[in-house]
């Protein structure tokens, strides 16, 4: 059966993307945190493509760095058109028996389910080529699918080569096709560049196969938005919106509550547990993982964060940091890389933590900087505490034992260690270790001058 034959995939990614007006090559532009070409790769792999070839040209090093050994590569030195691009894969694929999906690296929304349906349609219709099409309200810019009176596909005409009548056609080419592999490479030999753009068009393969009496079919996708090709920043923002909608829907169906999904920006690949509530105006990026029963309020921004169960994040920024079960932060907290917040720890307002472990049941309520430190269990860090970790050249570590009490406005000048149960008096500048259960007072003694206030300038 056809189904059992290998399915190859060719990804076209050699173009520069002039219309993007960008220093970044088009297919590397991220949509919901993931490069467009990676979305395409993932869909192909999930659809069961066994051997991938990516056509690179502009930005080939950067594309190869990203895709590494997930795919073979062929190099298109000059971008002479999509048919020319596919032809670059000739040495790798031309003699292979099987089917080949050709897809553009700038169509990130095409889902694996759609590719599977396209393959099935190709098999059912016994076609040599099947085009994935969509019905666009505004077909401007796309190749139009031209069918005869019986409805069978005759050819694809590019916008720039189309007659006025052809331009009225709303069924367009998504740039994704399945071909019988050998027929594809045979037909490519016949493609000419006598058209408005002087390019070798891959869509011309359709008319060539037809002229040989072969069956060509078209499969209109169910959700036309999947067909969006990203050529400029307007389309990029549209693609991002559609992808975001899809990502958020999936989370909601998995049990996540979203108050306003239209303003909740979550990257592809973020994981969120059931019964977690996410308010609007929240951004969650990178490899963030959030547990169950959490609340993330408006104005929060999480990047590569690892959040346990039952955590509350109130209007705070968390980057490459961890929060264990039952902990909370904010409003206006900031966790920087390698902050590791233990179970049931409270991080209050205007607290910044960097490269520091704070063990369970500790409280850091207000206006504090903790950097390069280990803080034990059940510690109370008073308002205005500063872990003085930097002398302008090197960073030093501070260790605070279990059950310590750091008085308000303490500076802990690293390197320094506080034993378990140590207590620092408010306003202290701690430069020496404090023994377990010791009280450290490191501030000037107070002296009062009787009636002196009356002599001060403002009273005269
Ligand atoms: C192409 C199709 C059009 C379809 C549309 C869907 C052709 C001629 N036209 O138009 O029918 O409706 O996609 O989005 O195929 N590329 C190369 N080498 C080249 C030229 C292009 O690798 O020499 C790559 C580009 O990097 C891009 C893809 O092929 O990823 C498509 O090229 P693009 O210029 O975006 O084609 P469209 O004008 O969008
Ligand atoms: Ca395109």
Which residue's alpha carbon is at the smallest distance from atom 26 of ligand 1? 15
**pLDDT at position 16, please?**
86
* Rounded Cα gap, residues 400 and 394, in angstroms: 20
Handedness of CA 36, 106, 43, 133 (dihedral sign): positive
* Rounded Cα gap, residues 385 and 362, in angstroms: 14
Between helices 36-46 and 60-67, what is the axis angle to 10°? Answer: 40
Binned at pLDDT 50, 70 and 90, residue 40 comes out as: very high
**pLDDT at position 460, please?**
83
**pLDDT at position 4, please?**
54
Residue pLDDT, tens place only, 236-263: 999 999 999 999 999 999 999 999 999 9
The whole-number average pLDDT for the span 360-377 is: 98
* Rounded Cα gap, residues 436 and 456, in angstroms: 44
**Ligand 1: does its nearest atom lie under 6 Å from the Cβ of 133?**
no
**pLDDT at position 306, please?**
99
The whole-number average pLDDT for the span 69-75 is: 97
pTM given for the model: 0.93
**Ligand 1: does its nearest atom lie under 6 Å from the Cβ of 139?**
no
- Indicate whether 25 pLDDT > 90: yes
Among 206, 84, 37, residue whose Cα is nearest residue 74: 84
- Indicate whether 54 pLDDT > 80: yes
Percent of the chain at pLDDT above 90? 98
**Ligand 1: does its nearest atom lie under 6 Å from the Cβ of 143?**
yes
* Rounded Cα gap, residues 377 and 327, in angstroms: 13
Q: How many residues does the chain have?
A: 460
Q: Which atom belonging to ligand 1 lies closest to the Cα atom of 57?
A: 22
Q: Return the structure tokens found at 446.
A: 């107070």
Residue pLDDT, tens place only, 128-139: 999 999 999 999
Q: Return the structure tokens found at 181.
A: 């592999």
Q: Are 453 and 460 in contact (CB under 8 A)?
A: no
* Nearest bound ligand to the CA of residue 134: 1
The pLDDT mean for the chain works out to 97
Residue pLDDT, tens place only, 348-358: 999 999 999 99
The whole-number average pLDDT for the span 195-216 is: 97
Which residue's alpha carbon is at the smallest distance from atom 25 of ligand 1? 15
Query: What is the 139 CA–ligand 2 centroid distance (Å)?
Result: 13
What are the angstrom distances between the C-alpha of 429 and each of 281, 328, 425?
40, 28, 9
* Rounded Cα gap, residues 269 and 60, in angstroms: 25
Percent of the chain at pLDDT above 70? 99
Binned at pLDDT 50, 70 and 90, residue 309 comes out as: very high
- Indicate whether 321 pLDDT > 90: yes
Query: What is the 230 CA–ligand 2 centroid distance (Å)?
Result: 6
The whole-number average pLDDT for the span 143-152 is: 95
Among 35, 10, 34, residue whose Cα is nearest residue 25: 35
Bridge partners, 7 (sequence order):
99
Residue among 58, 121, 366, 397 flagged as catalytic: 366
* CATH architecture for segment(s) 4-227: Alpha-Beta Complex (3.90)
Q: Does domain 314-440 have CATH number 2.60.40.2250?
A: no
Query: What is the 141 CA–ligand 2 centroid distance (Å)?
Result: 9
The whole-number average pLDDT for the span 443-447 is: 95
Confirm whether 366 is a catalytic residue: yes
- Indicate whether 3 pLDDT > 50: no
**pLDDT at position 2, please?**
43
Q: Which of 15, 27, 38, 54 to mutate to test the pocket of ligand 1 (most atoms within 8 A of CB)?
A: 15
Among 361, 324, 327, 367, residue whose Cα is nearest residue 349: 367
**Ligand 1: does its nearest atom lie under 6 Å from the Cβ of 40?**
no
Which residue's alpha carbon is at the smallest distance from atom 13 of ligand 1? 175
What are the angstrom distances between the C-alpha of 197 and each of 17, 131, 202, 203?
16, 22, 13, 14
Q: Are 221 and 133 in contact (CB under 8 A)?
A: yes
Residue pLDDT, tens place only, 379-433: 999 999 999 999 999 999 999 999 999 999 999 999 999 999 999 999 999 999 9
Q: Which residues lie near ion ligand 2 (Cβ < 5 Å)? A: 106, 229, 231
Map out the domains of the chain as residue ranges. Answer: 4-227, 314-440
Binned at pLDDT 50, 70 and 90, residue 121 comes out as: very high
**pLDDT at position 171, please?**
97
- Indicate whether 1 pLDDT > 60: no
């Amino acid at each position: 059966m056809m189904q059992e034959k290998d399915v190859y995939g060719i990804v076209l990614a050699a173009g520069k993307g002039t219309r993007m007006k960008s220093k970044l090559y088009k297919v590397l532009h991220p949509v919901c945190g993931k490069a467009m070409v990676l979305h395409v790769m993932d869909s192909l792999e999930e659809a069961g493509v066994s051997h991938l070839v990516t056509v690179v040209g502009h930005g080939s090093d950067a594309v190869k760095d990203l895709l590494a050994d997930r795919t073979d590569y062929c190099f298109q030195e000059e971008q002479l058109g999509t048919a020319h691009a596919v032809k670059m894969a000739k040495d790798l694929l031309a003699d292979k028996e099987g089917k080949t999906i050709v897809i553009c690296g700038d169509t990130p929304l095409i889902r694996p389910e759609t590719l599977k349906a396209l393959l099935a349609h190709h098999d059912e219709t016994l076609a040599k080529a099947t085009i994935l099409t969509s019905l666009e309200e505004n077909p401007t810019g796309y190749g139009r699918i031209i069918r005869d009176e019986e409805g069978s596909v005759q050819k694809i005409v590019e916008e720039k080569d189309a007659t006025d009548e052809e331009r009225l056609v709303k069924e367009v080419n998504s740039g994704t096709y399945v071909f019988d592999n050998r027929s594809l490479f045979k037909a490519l030999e016949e493609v000419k560049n006598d058209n408005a753009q002087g390019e070798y068009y891959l869509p011309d393969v359709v008319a060539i196969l037809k002229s040989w009496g072969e069956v060509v079919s078209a499969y209109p996708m169910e959700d036309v938005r999947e067909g969006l090709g990203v050529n400029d920043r307007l389309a990029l923002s549209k693609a991002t919106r559609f992808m975001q909608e899809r990502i958020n829907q999936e989370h909601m169906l998995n049990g996540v509550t979203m108050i306003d999904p239209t303003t909740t920006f979550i990257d592809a690949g973020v994981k969120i547990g059931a019964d977690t509530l996410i308010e609007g105006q929240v951004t969650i990026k990178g490899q963030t993982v959030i547990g169950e029963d959490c609340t993330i309020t408006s104005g929060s921004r999480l990047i590569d964060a690892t959040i346990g169960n039952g955590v509350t994040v109130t209007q705070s920024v968390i980057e490459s940091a961890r929060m264990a079960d039952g902990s909370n932060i904010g409003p206006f907290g900031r966790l920087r890389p390698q902050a590791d917040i233990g179970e049931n720890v409270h991080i209050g307002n205007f607290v910044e933590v960097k490269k520091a472990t704070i063990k369970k049941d500790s409280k850091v309520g207000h206006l504090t900087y903790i950097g390069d430190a280990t803080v034990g269990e059940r510690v109370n860090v008073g308002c205005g505490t500063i872990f003085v970790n930097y002398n302008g050249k090197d960073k030093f570590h501070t260790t605070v034992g279990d059950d310590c009490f750091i008085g308000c406005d303490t500076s802990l000048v690293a390197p320094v260690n506080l034993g378990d149960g140590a207590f620092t008096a408010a306003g202290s500048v701690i430069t020496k270790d404090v023994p377990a259960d010791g009280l450290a007072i490191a501030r000037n003694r107070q002296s009062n001058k009787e009636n002196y206030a009356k002599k001060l300038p403002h009273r005269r």
